[in-house]
Structure 1
Amino acid sequence: MYIGLDLGTSGLKGVLIDETQAIRAEATAPLDVSRPHDGWSEQDPAAWLAAADRVMQDLRAKADLSGVRGIGLSGHMHGATLLDAGHQVLRPCILWNDTRSHKEAAALDADPRFRAVTGNIVFPGFTAPKLAWVCNNELDLFAKVALVLLPKDYLRLWLTGEAVAEMSDAAGTSWLDTGRRDWDDGLLEATHLTRSNMPRLVEGCEVSGTLRPELASQWGLQQGVVVAGGGGDNAASAVGVGVVRAGDAFVSLGTSGVLFAASDAYQPDAASAVHTFCHALPGTWHQMGVILAAADALNWYAGLVDRKASDLTGELGDLREPGRTLFLPYLGGERTPHNDAAVRGSFLHLDHATDRTALTRAVLEGITHAFRDSFDALVSTGTRIDRLIAVGGGSRSEYWVKAIATSLGLPIEIPVAGDFGGAFGAARLGMMAATGAGAEIATAPQMARTVDPDPTLTPAFAEAHARYRDAYLALKGRA
């Protein structure tokens, strides 16, 4: 059996799979995010360890873990977890959706080496500008930094005692030579770091270490359980849903929104704000458009009107052409294609006829238009999308998936009931590390149905998307 642990922004999830990859047990533990200032987003790494222990204890209560051979890790990317020489945490982790380092990101991005080596814009959410911000604003603390880890890799350090990262997550730091799959010394020096401050690198399906004996005993596991390199949350989700070959893609309707396409070649186009990262499997990469607030924006709106998000989307009925009301979902800035940390969300064209249902539709349509932005950016790089699968909690909304399919002009497949996200992908990577299996085990799950676009509404969605883009340009012009 194999375990996948997925460290998400709002919770840590664990799944247990057997040799046939059937899920035998699952457990979750919630996590909180601190936002002490506008644009800031932090978590206490100690909370991750407590959540992991709770999840493992819950799994043990539900199933016999003595047959577990491998563990895989997944987690939210880009977070700066800073440790001193004794591996003590120096400050709360600065998370992926934190935009405080936008000035530092712009300064690093102005150095042509970063785009040339990493294949990506230096986004404010990436790790390198966070370290530059700490250097500029917390110099005494920065002087104590001995090790920089990504969130799931701090969890790995606790599990194994090994400071290790893997390629898919490392590609989101702005320090990795994404084509060569290795740290770049010049980019590290640009943020006053050296290779000695970084973990060693492995591929996602390789062994990164073994579970510490005391934890194995505590959780009812045998000694010698291997821990795989794992993957960043989206790369691990891609392994879980079988998106590992060129032409395959998924759209993720989670806290953030992601349009992820696998690639068998390194083909960056940084100017498009498309992310070009290593995949979690050797010799593969992926292209990705990222929306900072997808389901997060819907949940924010649901909180304002004091309703459950699922109840709001359930009130909408059949898909209809977009209304005049627009919603720009930029609650904390935006990545693809704008690379704009300063822009903020907005409702536009409200009138006396605007009711709760109209606002709900506007929120879903606004996020749909943001996905269309990412789709257009991906296509502009030459990325091929032959098959599109929907994952994440938002994929339960037929209305929302239908809107995205219609906007993109592509059918979207919905997997059968079950979890094929980051935790499941991490478990598959744990299975690969323990058994030596390869990408052949990362098959697509059985599909429950396909949601086809509505061609009669395609022109209306295209027109609404054009108004949405104009609204963003106007909003940016007033900033």
Structure 2
Amino acid sequence: MLTDAESDIIASSGAKLVVDNLHPQWSEQSPQDWWNATLDAIATVRNAQPRAFKALRGIGLSGQMHGATLLDRSGNVLRPAILWNDTRAYAECIELETLVPDSRAITGNLAMPGFTAPKLLWLSKYEPAVFRAVQKVLLPKDYIAWRLTGEFVSDMSDASGTLWLDVGKRDWSGRMLAATGLSRANMPRLVEGSEAAATLREEFRREWGIDRSVTVCGGAGDNAASAIGVGVARRGDALLSLGTSGVLFAATARHAPNPTQAVHAFCHCVPRQWHQMSVILSAAASLHWLASLLKISVADVVDIAPAGQSETAPIFLPYLNGERTPHNDAAARGVFYGMTATHSAAHLAYSVMEGVAFAMADGYAALQGAGTTLDAAAFIGGGSRSAFWGRLCASVLGFQLNRHEGSEMSAALGAARLARLAHGGEDLSGVCVAPPVLERYEPEAVSQSMLEIRLARYRRLYGALRSEFQA
């Protein structure tokens, strides 16, 4: 995304990527594919707006969190990156918390297999030759930053998802690193997301025809960047994101963990701010799965869902890749409960969208356990294109959702705003503003009474099936 000095969008482009699932619970990608996609998207934007691109002054990066991107001493990628929704390192989470009994006090977070540190413990056992060759461990966006600048650098928000960061102190923890056989030398240096971190390599500046040096800022993990893109930076601000995963994000003025219910308590990407997140692993991913099963498009699944809304629709547990908040259960599996011969594709479509909303309600309950209560939240991600899903989530959660202009691209906009802050030294309040609201979704009293009954059943189902999942 290319923006002007006021953060208005001039041009944007994207490139599709694939995920490799070589085994159940595995999820990997090639870092070289990220780099190729980055260059392709930049080329499209540059060709669309050559004069504006020539005046580029700052770059901000956002990316998927937790991915273990491993480089050797020569800067070669050692293996495909192990991604955020890879749950192979479940046993290593238990091992890590045994090695560092106060890990939750240090990191503010429960050890989860999607985080980066357990992945390195797994690697040390099952790919020891690769582990011995590791010189640098980078997160996905930080790998792109290294390719662009030659600098190994990360920001506080992304680093919070590694389990190597002392989130309260905003610094690497020597004890957590040592527990996984690593040290500070294996980590990138840390900056705030809105700080200048490096400068674009001269070879790219010349190749792209840019007339002056370009500042590259610390950037942010995808959700923290999305928050900046929709004006969520201060205590009381929040967003609900329905992308591949589902996230309820609440900004906080202090570090406020609740690890027992798998709440993510991370640094925000701006100084002296933190945030809480509840995360589910299969939000829009559940819709894509159902669309593939029914051999129709995702848009068609969304279109038919309202016709299936009824108190007799099946209950859906959206645990297709295990679950994080509040269960931290890598063994959990997706379930349709209560199906009969009378149920149609529309019923299944509704059940999937409702099940995701129920999972987000479980996440909100965990945030409430950490002291957070919300009156409203920005509604972002691909799922925000569905007004029906917006109304459904608002009714289940019990607070207003606001869909903002450009909400499906909020992470890129947030990254651009961070670059603006790093380059120009402006005040956060003047840059991190909420875009215009396109639609507001209020809780619907007519739906809430039925949904409360179905939510209670949904919660009982997980409790009843948990032992079967473990078996």
What range describes the TM-score normalised by the shorter chain of this pair? over 0.9
5 Å-filtered alignment, 1:30-109, equals: 30-63=16-49, 64=51, 65-109=53-97
Deviates more, 1:451-460 or 1:136-145: 451-460
Q: Partners of 1:463 and 1:317 in 2: how far apart?
A: 19
Among 438, 444, 459, the alignment partner of 1:469 is 459
5 Å-filtered alignment, 1:196-275, equals: 196-275=185-264
Q: Could you tell me which residue of structure 2 aligns to residue 122 of structure 1? A: 111
SS of equivalent to 2:117? helix
What do residues 208-243 of structure 1 show as CA deviations (whole Å, max 9, x unaligned)? 100001112222323410101000000000000001
Q: Which amino acid aligns with 1:17?
A: T
Query: CA shift at 1:272, angstroms?
Result: 1.6
Q: Partners of 1:392 and 1:121 in 2: how far apart?
A: 26
SS of equivalent to 2:247? strand
1:448 maps onto 2:438 in alignment: yes
Among 297, 303, 306, the alignment partner of 1:308 is 297
- Report the CA distance shift for 1:420/1:243 in structure 2 as closer, same or farther (over 3 A): farther
Q: Partners of 1:246 and 1:323 in 2: how far apart?
A: 40
Please say if residues 56 and 219 of structure 1, whose CA atoms lie closer than 8 Å, have aligned partners that are also in contact: no
Q: Partners of 1:418 and 1:112 in 2: how far apart?
A: 40
Q: Partners of 1:418 and 1:305 in 2: how far apart?
A: 28
Q: Could you tell me which residue of structure 1 aligns to residue 312 of structure 2? A: 323
Deviates more, 1:118-127 or 1:416-425: 416-425
Q: Could you tell me which residue of structure 2 aligns to residue 11 of structure 1? A: none
Q: Could you tell me which residue of structure 2 aligns to residue 23 of structure 1? A: 9
Please say if residues 101 and 130 of structure 1, whose CA atoms lie closer than 8 Å, have aligned partners that are also in contact: yes
Please say if residues 309 and 350 of structure 2, whose CA atoms lie closer than 8 Å, have aligned partners that are also in contact: no
Alignment identity in percent?
46
- Report the CA distance shift for 1:184/1:28 in structure 2 as closer, same or farther (over 3 A): same
Query: CA shift at 1:35, angstroms?
Result: 0.5
Please say if residues 17 and 427 of structure 1, whose CA atoms lie closer than 8 Å, have aligned partners that are also in contact: yes
Q: Could you tell me which residue of structure 2 aligns to residue 350 of structure 1? A: 339
Deviates more, 1:19-28 or 1:217-226: 217-226
Please say if residues 153 and 164 of structure 1, whose CA atoms lie closer than 8 Å, have aligned partners that are also in contact: yes
Q: Could you tell me which residue of structure 2 aligns to residue 3 of structure 1? A: none
* TM score, norm. by length of structure 2: 0.97
Query: CA shift at 1:417, angstroms?
Result: 4.9
Q: Could you tell me which residue of structure 2 aligns to residue 165 of structure 1? A: 154
- Report the CA distance shift for 1:247/1:319 in structure 2 as closer, same or farther (over 3 A): farther
Q: Partners of 1:178 and 1:462 in 2: how far apart?
A: 36
RMSD across aligned positions (CA): 1.2
Q: Partners of 1:464 and 1:365 in 2: how far apart?
A: 9
> Which blocks of at least 5 consecutive residues in structure 1 are unaligned?
1-14
Q: Which amino acid aligns with 1:459?
A: S
Please say if residues 389 and 412 of structure 1, whose CA atoms lie closer than 8 Å, have aligned partners that are also in contact: yes
Please say if residues 241 and 420 of structure 1, whose CA atoms lie closer than 8 Å, have aligned partners that are also in contact: no
Q: Partners of 2:357 and 2:340 in 1: how far apart?
A: 22
Q: Which amino acid aligns with 1:99?
A: T
1:415 maps onto 2:401 in alignment: no
Larger fraction in helix? 2
Please say if residues 314 and 348 of structure 2, whose CA atoms lie closer than 8 Å, have aligned partners that are also in contact: yes
Q: Which amino acid aligns with 1:146?
A: Q
Q: Partners of 1:363 and 1:261 in 2: how far apart?
A: 25
Among 103, 127, 151, the alignment partner of 1:138 is 127
Query: CA shift at 1:114, angstroms?
Result: 1.3
Among 414, 424, 431, the alignment partner of 1:435 is 424
- Report the CA distance shift for 1:418/1:401 in structure 2 as closer, same or farther (over 3 A): closer
Q: Partners of 2:313 and 2:306 in 1: how far apart?
A: 18
What do residues 94-120 of structure 1 show as CA deviations (whole Å, max 9, x unaligned)? 000000100001211343221010000
Q: Partners of 2:154 and 2:373 in 1: how far apart?
A: 29
Deviates more, 1:460-469 or 1:103-112: 103-112
Q: Partners of 1:434 and 1:265 in 2: how far apart?
A: 26
Larger fraction in strand? 1
1:156 maps onto 2:145 in alignment: yes
> Which blocks of at least 5 consecutive residues in structure 2 are unaligned?
none
Please say if residues 382 and 408 of structure 2, whose CA atoms lie closer than 8 Å, have aligned partners that are also in contact: no
Please say if residues 211 and 223 of structure 1, whose CA atoms lie closer than 8 Å, have aligned partners that are also in contact: no
Q: Which amino acid aligns with 2:372?
A: T
Q: Partners of 2:375 and 2:59 in 1: how far apart?
A: 32
Q: Which amino acid aligns with 1:162?
A: E
Please say if residues 251 and 276 of structure 2, whose CA atoms lie closer than 8 Å, have aligned partners that are also in contact: yes
Query: CA shift at 1:19, angstroms?
Result: 1.1
Q: Partners of 1:324 and 1:21 in 2: how far apart?
A: 44
Q: Partners of 1:169 and 1:215 in 2: how far apart?
A: 25
Q: Which amino acid aligns with 1:59?
A: V
Q: Partners of 1:260 and 1:34 in 2: how far apart?
A: 28
What do residues 268-290 of structure 1 show as CA deviations (whole Å, max 9, x unaligned)? 11112110000000000000000
Query: CA shift at 1:319, angstroms?
Result: 9.1
Q: Partners of 1:384 and 1:330 in 2: how far apart?
A: 25
SS of equivalent to 1:19? coil
1:287 maps onto 2:276 in alignment: yes
SS of equivalent to 1:460? helix
Q: Partners of 2:97 and 2:324 in 1: how far apart?
A: 14
Q: Could you tell me which residue of structure 1 aligns to residue 450 of structure 2? A: 460
5 Å-filtered alignment, 1:312-391, equals: 312-317=301-306, 320-391=309-380
- Report the CA distance shift for 1:79/1:416 in structure 2 as closer, same or farther (over 3 A): same
Please say if residues 384 and 408 of structure 2, whose CA atoms lie closer than 8 Å, have aligned partners that are also in contact: no
Q: Partners of 2:259 and 2:74 in 1: how far apart?
A: 37
Q: Partners of 1:324 and 1:192 in 2: how far apart?
A: 50
Please say if residues 306 and 350 of structure 2, whose CA atoms lie closer than 8 Å, have aligned partners that are also in contact: no
* TM score, norm. by length of structure 1: 0.95
Q: Partners of 2:102 and 2:125 in 1: how far apart?
A: 21
Query: CA shift at 1:323, angstroms?
Result: 3.4
SS of equivalent to 2:12? strand
Query: CA shift at 1:371, angstroms?
Result: 0.5
